[in-house]
Amino acid sequence: MATIRYNTVLGGPTRKNDPQAYEGLMVAALPPGSVVGVNSAGGIVVAPTTGTPAIPLILRENMVGGGDITAAVPLGATGVALLTQDDVTYHVRVAASSVLTKFTPLAHNGAGALKVAIAGDVVLFHAWEAYTVASDGPELVAVRRASSSLFTKPTA
């Protein structure tokens, strides 16, 4: 991760301090803020890029193992993935060199980060800030989930 601008995955608002979460064993070491899914055995994996998830999941910092936002949740550890909600801000990894304006539609890039959505992508989140991600790696960016009834595919 290039620059550390946020210390937590859950951004708020403060009235939303009781996030719904899924706990499972990590199938691979992944950094906090990654877009994740659950495999058939209940393990936490990088989210698949095919299909539309019922609820996008974001890997939280390793609270169980005492890690912080800079440390990957290790293979075999218990990972905690947040079940995202429409009206909550999250700090999620966005691919290097992404240029964002507020409300830029974002899709999963297949490597655990988000990318600027193009035609045919399923929009999972929208940028909640204007920001340009550095070229040296993904960074945590403030995003909000696209409404669950509005997972869309950009037309342009």
pLDDT tens digits, one per residue of 18-38? 788 999 999 999 999 999 999
Q: pLDDT at residue 75 above 70? A: yes
Q: pLDDT at residue 151 above 60? A: no
CA 86 – CA 20 distance, rounded (Å): 13
Topology of the domain comprising 19-148: Virus Head Decoration Protein; Chain: A, (2.40.300)
For the chain, give the mean pLDDT: 87
CA 138 – CA 127 distance, rounded (Å): 14
Q: What is the pLDDT of residue 86?
A: 84
Question: Residue 73 has what DSSP assignment?
Answer: B
Find all residues with CB under 8 Å of 1, minimum gap 6, and list them: 31, 70, 93, 137, 138, 139, 140
The domain spans of the chain are 19-148
